[in-house]
Chain A
Amino acid sequence: MRPDLRDPRLALLSLAMLSLIAAFLAPKIAVRRPSFDLLAVVDITGSMNVRDYSAGGRPISRLDAVKAALRALLAELPCPSHVGLGIFSERKTFLLFEPIDVCVDFAPLEASIEALDWRMAWEGDSRVSAGLFSAIDMARQLKSDLLFFTDGQEAPPLPARGAPTFDGRAGELRGLLVGVGGYELSPIPKFDDRGREIGFLGVEEVPHESRFGLPPEGAERREGYNARNAPFGAAAAVGVEHLSSVKEDYLRSLAEKTGLAYAHLEDGKRLWTDYAAVAAARMREAAFDLSPFFGAAAALFTFFAAAGPSLALALVQLRRAAPFNRHPQPGRSK
């Protein structure tokens, strides 16, 4: 008798062989996968040294919390995303390097983030809105999204008329304005000129009011007010500018003005979900190797060629054994 060519097991084995040939040829298809380009700009001004985050039960500074979150974000980004790094101090954003491939150049990228330090700041001022606007400009040139990390503490304080106006187009750039810091006021560490920590800023060491421009409304009721000689009143203003918390209302208003989204910094996971919600995904071609699927398919075909008849038999017996099927009552089914 000739071999039975209609045996399904022969067909399964032939399929297995075809799958293996396909796997051996290692076919690749080009798939378009989303990836992200972003510029991370980190505020490195003095208030970022405030230790109001904690890691492993130890208080860590806002800057350290930003670094940890950025590192976690890098690990989440799909290949081949690109990340650039900038720092903000005074009123400018300073680009350290243009976006580089997160996957290929992970080690130097991580080391550069780790090296961020308040000592890199070229001036002590912290004009957040001006820094943000220059960062937006820079990110637009680099064609990336923007992640701007700041606690929103303007130093010196904003003049009475409020923050400068944004003259770009709101919403042109996608990105996140990340508010860093706790909601409670905390003292700001102070350093001597060799970089050693020497306590905290005192109430008399920082200006509490901007005396540029026009005085605020109601200044004429202040003690010692004189329209020409003392338009802000005679006494120096005393406030809480020597303490710091995240200025969320201010940052939200900046975010609204510029069309960025606002998020509070919690941890890397939250940062990634917050960023992914607003990010501009860039579709890039990537080769996708199909051979693992063909290999697994071949294994399953051969498996069913051996086990198929027994499985089929077992299935039939199971059905026969099932009490419901033994006395089918079609008339009663709804």
Chain B
Amino acid sequence: MTALGFDHIEALFLAPLAMIPFLRSVLRDTPIPSLLSAPADSLSALVANILKLSGVIAIGASLFGAAGPHIAGAEQERFAEGAQLVMLIDRSGSMNETFAGRTPSGGEESKAAAAKRILKRFVEARRHDLVGVAAFSTAPMLVTPITDHIDATQAAIDAIDRPGLDYTNIARGLAMALSMFKTSDADLSRAVLLISDGAGVIDPKLRDDLKAEFRKTNVSLYWLFLRTEGSRGIADRAAEDDESPQAAPERHLDLFFRSLGVPYRAFEVESAEATEEALKQIDRLERHPVLYVEKMPRTDLSAWAFALAFVATSLLVVAKLAQVGLGVEGRAR
């Protein structure tokens, strides 16, 4: 696209002024009884026309330059390595505790603060990703849409270590995350990155809906499980062979995710370092060619316009300096 744009289109309203050199000359008038006394001279006519034209160009180009002309930067589609990601972040109250399950004190870092620091670095390192952020506690919340504006994503991640809300309702959160992908981008590499410190029981009524939705959108799933020390892990079975989802929600959520039929991996981490390591693995896994739009910087034309105006004005000045009168009677007015 090579559209011409102006920053200050108002300057062009003065463009009619550029017509004045056709009517009036910058040169001094010389009183002479009759033009017929001078022979017709094609060279003089040429010079006169060049001077008129220079005047027009001098005024016109100055105004054109003043209007701030530029050619809009073209948008170029390029391939890079990356993915479309939705970060689905648990904002339940327990995220504000440390990995040891305590309220942070002194130099300790809460799970949310660790996630914030590491996710920000992750986003910073993957500049070609399109990232959206969703949060969930009891209800899902769309925070920022899938976007290439890293600042907006960073601002959303910045907010995740604030006091959280009530409970963990993963099913609704997942549904929200899936709804953020556009169906038109189905051929791109897309993933949901679920960051939570607990699991919940997924309502059996929602299970089938979720499964269908995952298959339809074909979004891969990464579950970053920030496990609190001493709590149940993904692999732990409940005591006494109690196989109900309520007794071991982490294990059953994992089983459910496995049954989705989309690429899925769980990372169980118990420290900030392990979280970082898990994100490095995800970083390696989610490297697919993605199409992204790079905006080329716009081309500023005003300098050319000013240069042209300068040349034209110089010509006028030269003509002015070269002008000589016909004699004593040729007095300047």
User: Which of A's residues lie within 8 Å of B, judged by CB?
Assistant: 1-4, 6-7, 9-10, 13-14, 16-17, 19-21, 23-24, 26, 84, 87, 92, 94-101, 104-105, 107-109, 111-112, 115, 117, 119-123, 138, 289, 291-296, 298-300, 302-303, 305-307, 309-310
Closest A residue to B333 using CB positions: A309
A4-B139 contact given A296-B66, A299-B66, A310-B24, CB 8 Å threshold? no
Most buried by B among A26, A97, A121, A300: A97
How far is A2 from B29 in the complex, measured between Cα atoms in Å? 15
CB pair A13–B62 under 8 Å, yes or no, is no
Interface presence of B327 (CB below 8 A): yes
Closest A residue to B60 using CB positions: A299
CB pair A291–B66 under 8 Å, yes or no, is yes
Interface presence of B249 (CB below 8 A): no
Contacts of B20 in A (CB 8 A): 303, 306-307
Q: Nearest Cβ in chain A — how far from B303, in angstroms? A: 6
Q: Nearest Cβ in chain B — how far from A99, in angstroms? A: 7
Interface presence of B47 (CB below 8 A): no
Closest B residue to A104 using CB positions: B151
CB pair B317–A97 under 8 Å, yes or no, is no
A302-B313 contact given A97-B158, A100-B151, A291-B302, CB 8 Å threshold? yes
CB pair A109–B152 under 8 Å, yes or no, is yes
Contacts of A17 in B (CB 8 A): 310, 313-314, 317
Interface mask (B306-317 → A, CB under 8 Å = 1, otherwise 0): 110110011011
How far is A138 from B159 in the complex, measured between Cα atoms in Å? 11
CB pair A16–B145 under 8 Å, yes or no, is no
Most buried by A among B11, B140, B143: B143
CB pair B141–A295 under 8 Å, yes or no, is no
How far is A291 from B62 in the complex, measured between Cα atoms in Å? 10
Contacts of A305 in B (CB 8 A): 26, 316
Interface presence of B296 (CB below 8 A): no
CB pair A97–B143 under 8 Å, yes or no, is yes
CB pair A107–B141 under 8 Å, yes or no, is no
Q: Nearest Cβ in chain B — how far from A137, in angstroms? A: 11
A306-B159 contact given A26-B303, A111-B145, A112-B145, CB 8 Å threshold? no
Q: Which of B18-41 contact A (CB under 8 A)?
A: 18, 20-21, 23-26, 28-29
CB pair B151–A96 under 8 Å, yes or no, is no
Given contacts A98-B156, A115-B145, 4 further A-B contacts (CB under 8 A): A2-B324, A100-B155, A299-B14, A299-B63
Contacts of B144 in A (CB 8 A): 96-97, 108, 111-112
How far is A6 from B302 in the complex, measured between Cα atoms in Å? 32
Contacting residue for A16 out of B28, B141, B313, CB 8 A: B313
Contacting residue for B139 out of A108, A121, A307, CB 8 A: A121
CB pair A105–B151 under 8 Å, yes or no, is yes
Contacting residue for B66 out of A23, A98, A120, CB 8 A: A23
CB pair B68–A292 under 8 Å, yes or no, is yes
Contacts of A303 in B (CB 8 A): 17-18, 20, 59
Contacts of B165 in A (CB 8 A): 92, 94, 122
Q: Nearest Cβ in chain A — how far from B247, in angstroms? A: 25
Closest A residue to B310 using CB positions: A20
How far is A120 from B139 in the complex, measured between Cα atoms in Å? 5
How far is A24 from B303 in the complex, measured between Cα atoms in Å? 6
CB pair A295–B66 under 8 Å, yes or no, is yes
Interface presence of B166 (CB below 8 A): yes
Q: Which of B143-187 contact A (CB under 8 A)?
A: 143-145, 147, 149, 151-152, 155-156, 158-159, 162-163, 165-166
Closest A residue to B140 using CB positions: A120
A122-B62 contact given A26-B303, A112-B144, CB 8 Å threshold? no
CB pair A105–B149 under 8 Å, yes or no, is yes
Interface presence of B7 (CB below 8 A): yes
29 cross-chain CB contacts under 8 A = A2-B324, A3-B320, A3-B322, A10-B320, A10-B321, A13-B320, A17-B314, A23-B66, A92-B163, A96-B156, A96-B159, A97-B159, A107-B147, A108-B147, A108-B152, A119-B140, A120-B141, A120-B142, A122-B137, A292-B8, A295-B65, A295-B66, A296-B63, A298-B58, A302-B26, A302-B59, A303-B59, A307-B20, A309-B29
How far is A302 from B21 in the complex, measured between Cα atoms in Å? 9
Interface presence of B260 (CB below 8 A): no
Contacts of A292 in B (CB 8 A): 7-8, 11, 65-68, 302
- Which 5 A-B pairs rank lowest in CB-CB distance, beginning with the nearest? A295-B66, A299-B62, A108-B152, A97-B156, A115-B142
Contacts of B149 in A (CB 8 A): 100, 104-105, 107-108
Most buried by B among A9, A10, A94, A108: A108
How far is A302 from B56 in the complex, measured between Cα atoms in Å? 9
CB pair A24–B310 under 8 Å, yes or no, is yes
A299-B59 contact given A96-B143, A108-B152, A115-B145, CB 8 Å threshold? yes
Interface presence of B244 (CB below 8 A): no
Closest B residue to A82 using CB positions: B155
CB pair B147–A296 under 8 Å, yes or no, is no
Q: Which of B130-144 contact A (CB under 8 A)?
A: 133, 135, 137-144
Interface presence of B330 (CB below 8 A): yes
How far is A310 from B310 in the complex, measured between Cα atoms in Å? 24
Q: Nearest Cβ in chain B — how far from A93, in angstroms? A: 9
CB pair A14–B310 under 8 Å, yes or no, is no
Q: Nearest Cβ in chain A — how far from B105, in angstroms? A: 20
CB pair A23–B306 under 8 Å, yes or no, is yes
Contacts of B26 in A (CB 8 A): 9, 13, 302, 305-306
Q: Nearest Cβ in chain A — how far from B58, in angstroms? A: 5
Contacting residue for B155 out of A97, A115, A117, A289, CB 8 A: A97
Most buried by A among B58, B65, B137, B155: B155
Contacting residue for B306 out of A87, A108, A291, CB 8 A: A291
Closest B residue to A12 using CB positions: B26
Interface presence of B332 (CB below 8 A): yes
CB pair A24–B307 under 8 Å, yes or no, is yes
Contacts of A296 in B (CB 8 A): 11, 14, 62-63, 66
Contacts of B58 in A (CB 8 A): 16, 298-299, 302
